[in-house]
Amino acid sequence: MNDLFLIAINLTRRCNLACAHCYMDAATREAGSEGELTTDEVKALLDQIRERGDDTMVVLTGGEPLLRRDLEALVAHGNGLGLAMVVGTNGVLLNEKRVASFKAAGAMGMGISLDSLDPNHHDSFRGCPGSWEKTLAGMEFCRQADLPFQVHFSVTEQNADEVQSMIDFTKAAGAHVLNIFFLVCTGRGESMSDITP
């Protein structure tokens, strides 16, 4: 019996954004990050997961996993093993070509982070002007390519009033799922407070 329903693998600490709440304190875009698993090591890990059963969902995330040049190869390897492969991303680096390559590799879907429907709030929270627009464009590339995607919404005191609006947006954007995450108070999010009364 497989007791592994879902496993998230943080492939890298590298990131193209500098999110205020990042539990990994990821930020650098350098060629590699200390302690990052090699392609072969990640493939071996996927092989071990498969040995436990073939109905496990594996989320490849980071940092920003799209900064890894081997990401599609890792998705293809997991897919070939029968694992349900999902990529967790901020969506900024998604374009038509990259979405097509993930679909060809057998990705089950993309998990794309969006923290506000207000572009200024999202960009400020993510530490990068223009990221909101690029994230929405990434969602649209997925929708056009018929690659399922879900929206990841991290709830804080500043955006808790947007939950219903985010539900409505998610439906209108064609997302399959809205995941609402509560703040993990580690890394850069250590000094932030959650919304628990």
Give the residue with greater pLDDT, 85 vs 197. 85
Give pLDDT tens digits for 158-179.
Answer: 888 999 999 999 999 999 999 9
Helix (H, G, I), strand (E, B) or coil at 128: coil
Q: Is 28 exposed, middle or buried (0-12, 13-18, 19+ CB in 10 A)?
A: middle
- Per-residue confidence at 53, pLDDT binned at 50, 70, 90? confident
Residue 196 lies in a domain: no
Highest mean pLDDT: which range of 13-27, 48-62, 181-195: 48-62
Helix (H, G, I), strand (E, B) or coil at 73: helix
Q: Summarize the confidence of residues 39-64 as an average pLDDT.
A: 94
Percent of the chain with pLDDT over 90: 66
Mean pLDDT of the chain: 87
- The answer to whether 56 and 83 have CB atoms below 8 angstroms apart is yes
106 Rama class: left (phi>0) / alpha (psi -120 to 50) / beta: left
Does position 57 have pLDDT exceeding 90, yes or no?
A: yes
CATH classification at residue 17: 3.20.20.70
- Max CA separation in the chain (angstroms): 47
The tally of domains found in the chain comes to 1
In the DSSP assignment, the letter for residue 37 is: P
Q: Which of 14-18, 48-52, 83-87, 135-139 has the lowest mean pLDDT?
A: 14-18
Residue whose C-alpha is closest to residue 46's, from 59, 33, 36: 59
Does position 29 have pLDDT exceeding 60, yes or no?
A: no
Q: What per-residue confidence (pLDDT) applies to 80?
A: 97
Q: Summarize the confidence of residues 30-41 as an average pLDDT.
A: 78
What's the Cα-to-Cα distance from 168 to each of 43, 112, 119, 162, 173, rounded to whole Å? 38, 16, 17, 10, 9
Instruction: Look up residue 53 and give its amino acid.
Output: G
Residue 101 lies in a domain: yes
Q: What per-residue confidence (pLDDT) applies to 193?
A: 54
Give the structural domain span for 62: 6-191
Residue 197 lies in a domain: no
